[in-house]
Chain A
Amino acid sequence: MSASSPATQLPHISPGRKRKDAIMRGSLLAGTIIALIPLVLVIYYLLYKGLSAATASGFFTTDPTGNFFGNPGGIRSAIFGTLEIVALASLIAIPVGIAVALYLTEYGKEGWFANVVRYFVDVMTGVPSVVFGLFIYIVLVISHAGGSGFAGWKGALALALLMLPIVIRSSEVVLQLVPSSLREAALALGAPRWRIIWRVVLPTARSGLVTGSLLAVARGMGETAPLLFTVSLATAVTGNLNSQMNSLPLQIFTDITNPRDVIVARAWGAALTLVALVLILNVVARLISRRSSMT
């Protein structure tokens, strides 16, 4: 920076200002490092405490026994339960979410009703997940809807409610990026609206829609509180979504409060499994969004 010729000499910056600049730059860097410490620590302890549990024989292939003494068993039913519940939640939240986003971009546009919907979707993102759990508990669990109290499909509905605003917001952002010239070109060729949506808008936005949906799935997968009030617990693997089921977050939650070391170790193993699943979804989502030219 120092100019050699006196004609272009830069104005003098006092040592005090230079020092302050260096200090503030240093603290911003320090803040960034501090922000990353918890991530490093959490992942370190997950590997350190979880890996030995997860590599024990039968960890992924046996169900929790539910015995307080003796062999606690593995987490097979928890993995199956989480996958089943999250799959059902995704089957509900992703199509409905994309459909609402389509309504907002293709039909509602800037109309008053579309803006009301947008506003409430925004507000929904801030509703605590425990409240969604209570909603479903009050409406479906207490009333024994479908002949069951706690049930997997009720948990899936709670997760779907939670994922819905995420899917809607991310899909709307992507759908708005579809150039209107494409829509107009299709209209000029005489295509009806539904065909434009199906053949032009959705394919153009596909990778962005997938990314947003995957992030929503990842979010739903880690949720504990909604499941606590809607699915409760079970030990065995079940394909019956109308019964109580096991799930990874709840397995971890109940294992934490157990005084036995082997069961706490299972919590670490299950946590490692859950974080691995969520991180894989996140990384895949980000890779897809980076590859696409649109987002």
Chain B
Amino acid sequence: MEASVTTATGVRDRFERSPAARLPDQVLQAGLTVLAVLILGIIGYFFIRLIGESSDALNKFGASFVFGNDWDVSRNIYHGAPLVIGTLITSAIALLIGVPVAVATALYLTELCPRRFRPALAMLVDLLAAVPSVVYGLWGVFVLGPKLLPVEKWFANTFSFIPFIGGGGNTITPGNYFIAGLILAIMILPIVSAISREVLATVPAENKEAALALGATRWEMIRMSVLPYARPGITGGAMLGLGRAIGETIAVVLVIGNAATIGHHIFSQGYTLAAVIANEFNEAANQPLHSSALFAAGLVLFILTLIVNIIARWFVRRGTRKLRAPEADPGDAPAPGGAAPAPAGATS
């Protein structure tokens, strides 16, 4: 527009907007930009405040806040290894159970399911993400926990020779690592499945047709041309699920037993970083060091999920950029809740 000022003929001057008429545009652009800057600024400010509030506990306990095994509220000592390990164990169980089922669902929906059933089935899987976490917790406490307890006891007794599984025997309680992991598996399933589906949908038809033309069976086609192509994207989806599992709070606090010790097998009671914050939040209000320790747990949780998510985005992006290159659409890694069909996932 500036160029038109220099045109000698003056014809363009008549079409040129007056500075006053151009004002709304400039205001809008500036306003929207400021808004975007503001949001980044707010997040940064919150992060700094969180570091500030956790500094008491972090200064006092140092590295043993993460690596020391002694979380004792009565003695005011906060060494959070039981929480970190609990978080890792429950997330690992969630991934081991959730990811294979989610990928199987995604493969079935994209490759095998009759076309007319696909939208309905996909919507049902997505609806798993719509159930609030407190409802999963309610269901876990009063239905899944009690019903599964005899099965867990039988399993622990029968396979007592396997490390990390046996050892509990009849002392197993309804709240334990395994139940928490199982509930988490249900909660991450729709996210992993939705992202896997998006990635699988981008596998070029030629690759599949080529495999079929060479005489491959359906499964051989999936194994040889679909899976290798979609692997980075599926890995990224699983990592996003991991981020969800690490941060999930309310469902876990209700079913994990809330014992600040490192369990010896997957059926023992435990604790996670997120669960400790929700469970001890009220009693910590009058004890500065305790609340500082809870903020520090939040900080560790935040950084942990941040790292996992950054790696996940990298995988998903790598998986989709390769496929979508012609569209020149880099900002389009499928985010949960991104495109309309993705689920409105629920964490708390």
A and B from one complex: yes
Task: List A residues 142-177 near B (Cβ within 8 Å).
Answer: 164-166, 169-170, 172-174, 176
Q: With A28-B112, A224-B132, A249-B132 given, is the CB distance from A138 to B53 under 8 Å? A: yes
On whether the beta carbons of A31 and B101 are closer than 8 Å, the reply is yes
Say yes or no for B92: interface residue by CB 8 A criterion. no
A25, A34, A194, A212: the one within 8 Å of B340 (CB): A212
Say yes or no for B96: interface residue by CB 8 A criterion. no
Q: With A21-B217, A173-B339 given, is the CB distance from A264 to B101 under 8 Å? A: no
Hey, what's the 0/1 contact readout for A221-256 against B, CB within 8 Å counting as 1? 111111011000000000000000000010011001
Q: With A17-B220, A286-B123 given, is the CB distance from A172 to B25 under 8 Å? A: no
On whether the beta carbons of A39 and B127 are closer than 8 Å, the reply is yes
Say yes or no for A289: interface residue by CB 8 A criterion. yes
* CA of A113 to CA of B121, assembled, Å: 39
Interface class of chain A by DSSP: helix
Say yes or no for A203: interface residue by CB 8 A criterion. no
Minimum CB distance partner of A197 in chain B: B28
On whether the beta carbons of B302 and A131 are closer than 8 Å, the reply is yes
Say yes or no for B337: interface residue by CB 8 A criterion. yes
Q: Closest CB-CB distance, B329 to chain A, in whole Å?
A: 8
* CA of A274 to CA of B45, assembled, Å: 33
| A170: chain B residues within 8 A (beta carbon) | 337-340
**How many of chain B's residues have a CB under 8 angstroms from any CB in A?**
103
Say yes or no for B224: interface residue by CB 8 A criterion. no
Say yes or no for B104: interface residue by CB 8 A criterion. yes
| B104: chain A residues within 8 A (beta carbon) | 27-28, 30-32, 35
Q: Closest CB-CB distance, B25 to chain A, in whole Å?
A: 5
Task: List A residues 80-105 near B (Cβ within 8 Å).
Answer: 96, 99-100, 102-104
| A10: chain B residues within 8 A (beta carbon) | 215
Q: Closest CB-CB distance, B335 to chain A, in whole Å?
A: 5
Task: List B residues 78-116 near A (Cβ within 8 Å).
Answer: 100-105, 107-109, 111-113
| B139: chain A residues within 8 A (beta carbon) | 41-42, 45-46
On whether the beta carbons of A128 and B134 are closer than 8 Å, the reply is no
Q: Closest CB-CB distance, A281 to chain B, in whole Å?
A: 8
| B222: chain A residues within 8 A (beta carbon) | 24
On whether the beta carbons of A128 and B246 are closer than 8 Å, the reply is yes
* CA of A218 to CA of B345, assembled, Å: 9
A127, A128, A271, A274: the one within 8 Å of B249 (CB): A128
Hey, what's the 0/1 contact readout for A258-295 against B, CB within 8 Å counting as 1? 00000010011001001100110010011001000001
Q: Closest CB-CB distance, B218 to chain A, in whole Å?
A: 6
Say yes or no for A115: interface residue by CB 8 A criterion. yes
Q: With A28-B104, A107-B32, A224-B348 given, is the CB distance from A218 to B340 under 8 Å? A: no
Minimum CB distance partner of B338 in chain A: A169
Say yes or no for A185: interface residue by CB 8 A criterion. no
Say yes or no for B189: interface residue by CB 8 A criterion. yes
Q: With A31-B105, A45-B143, A135-B46 given, is the CB distance from A38 to B128 under 8 Å? A: yes
Q: With A222-B132, A282-B127 given, is the CB distance from A129 to B313 under 8 Å? A: no
On whether the beta carbons of A107 and B348 are closer than 8 Å, the reply is no
Say yes or no for A179: interface residue by CB 8 A criterion. no
Task: List A residues 166-201 near B (Cβ within 8 Å).
Answer: 166, 169-170, 172-174, 176, 190, 192-194, 197
Q: List 17 A-B contacts (CB under 8 A).
A: A17-B220, A25-B218, A28-B104, A106-B32, A122-B313, A129-B247, A130-B249, A173-B340, A194-B24, A219-B344, A223-B132, A224-B348, A225-B278, A249-B132, A275-B130, A279-B127, A285-B344
A residues neighboring B (CB under 8 Å)? 10-11, 13, 17-18, 20-21, 24-25, 27-32, 34-36, 38-39, 41-42, 45-46, 49, 96, 99-100, 102-104, 106-108, 110, 113-120, 122-131, 134-135, 138-139, 164-166, 169-170, 172-174, 176, 190, 192-194, 197, 208, 211-212, 215-216, 218-219, 221-226, 228-229, 249, 252-253, 256, 264, 267-268, 271, 274-275, 278-279, 282, 285-286, 289, 295
- Top 8 nearest A-B pairs (CB, nearest first) are A128-B247, A31-B104, A222-B132, A126-B309, A225-B348, A103-B32, A21-B217, A24-B219
Q: A129-B249, A224-B132 are in contact. List 20 more A-B contacts (CB 8 A).
A: A29-B112, A35-B102, A110-B331, A114-B331, A115-B331, A123-B313, A125-B335, A176-B329, A190-B15, A215-B340, A216-B344, A222-B131, A222-B135, A223-B133, A223-B348, A224-B348, A226-B348, A275-B130, A286-B123, A286-B340
